[in-house]
Structure 1
Amino acid sequence: MAEPVALVALMADAALGWPAWLYARAGHPVGAFARLIGGCERWGNRPTLSTATRRLAGVATIALVVASGTSVAWLAEAAVRAVFGPAGWVAVALLAWPGLAQRSLNDHVLPVATALERGDLPAARAAVGRIVGRDVEQLDEAGVARAAIESLSESVCDGVAAPLFWLLLLGLPGLWAYKGINTADSLIGHREQRWRAFGWASARLDDLANLLPARLSGVLLCLAGGGGWRVMVRDARRHASPNAGWPEAAMAGALGIRLAGPIAYDGVVADKPWIGDGMREPGAREIKRALAVYRRACLMLWIVAGVVAWAR
Structure 2
Amino acid sequence: MAVLLALWLDWRFGEPPTALHPVVWMGRYLGWVGRGLTRLPPRSAFALGAVYWCLGAGLFAGAYGLMAWGLGFLPGWLEPLLAAFFLKPLFAFRMLLDEAWAVEAALGEGLEAGRARLRHLVSRNTAELSESEVREGLLESAAENLSDSVVAPLFWFVLLGLPGAALYRFANTADAMWGYMGAWAWAGRWAARADDLLNWVPARLTAGLLWLGVRGPTWRDLAREARKTPSPNAGWPMAALALALGLRLGKPGVYVLNPRGRPPGQAEVAAGLARVARAGWLGAVLLAGIEAWRHFL
TM-score (structure 1 length as normaliser): 0.88
What is the CA–CA distance in structure 2 between the aligned matches of 1:277 and 1:134, rounded to whole Å?
19
Structure 2 match to 1:267:
none
Structure 1 residue 66 displacement after superposition: 1.1
- The equivalent position to 2:68 in structure 1, one of 74, 77, 85, is 77
- Provide the identity percentage: 35
Secondary structure in 2 matching 1:240: coil
Tell me if structure 1 keeps the 8 A contact 2:68–2:162.
Answer: yes
What 5-or-longer segments of structure 1 have no aligned partner? Answer: 263-270
Secondary structure in 1 matching 2:267: helix
What 5-or-longer segments of structure 2 have no aligned partner? Answer: none
What is the CA–CA distance in structure 1 between the aligned matches of 2:159 and 2:240, rounded to whole Å?
25
- The equivalent position to 2:280 in structure 1, one of 269, 274, 298, is 298
- The equivalent position to 2:269 in structure 1, one of 267, 273, 287, is 287
The structure-2 alpha-carbon separation of the partners of 1:176 and 1:34, relative to structure 1 and needing over 3 Å to count, comes to same
- The equivalent position to 1:154 in structure 2, one of 144, 148, 171, is 144
Structure 1 residue 63 displacement after superposition: 0.4
Deviations 1:120-173 (A, max 9, x none): 222222221211111222221101100101111111111111101100000000
What is the CA–CA distance in structure 2 between the aligned matches of 1:201 and 1:299, rounded to whole Å?
32
Q: Which amino acid aligns with 1:17?
A: G
The structure-2 alpha-carbon separation of the partners of 1:134 and 1:224, relative to structure 1 and needing over 3 Å to count, comes to farther
Secondary structure in 2 matching 1:242: coil
Determine whether 1:33 maps to 2:26: yes
Tell me if structure 2 keeps the 8 A contact 1:252–1:277.
Answer: no
Structure 1 residue 81 displacement after superposition: 4.7
Instruction: Please tell me the root mean square deviation across aligned C-alpha atoms, in Å.
Output: 1.9
The structure-2 alpha-carbon separation of the partners of 1:225 and 1:159, relative to structure 1 and needing over 3 Å to count, comes to farther
Match runs of 1:60-75 below 5 Å: 60-75=51-66
Structure 2 match to 1:251:
241
Secondary structure in 2 matching 1:235: helix
Determine whether 1:92 maps to 2:83: yes
Deviations 1:5-30 (A, max 9, x none): 122112221222215xx23xx25211
Matched residue count: 292
Secondary structure in 2 matching 1:274: strand
Match runs of 1:1-312 below 5 Å: 4-18=1-15, 22-23=17-18, 26=19, 28-42=21-35, 45=37, 47=39, 49-82=40-73, 84-86=74-76, 87-116=78-107, 118=108, 120-192=110-182, 194-223=183-212, 229-230=218-219, 231-262=221-252, 271-312=253-294
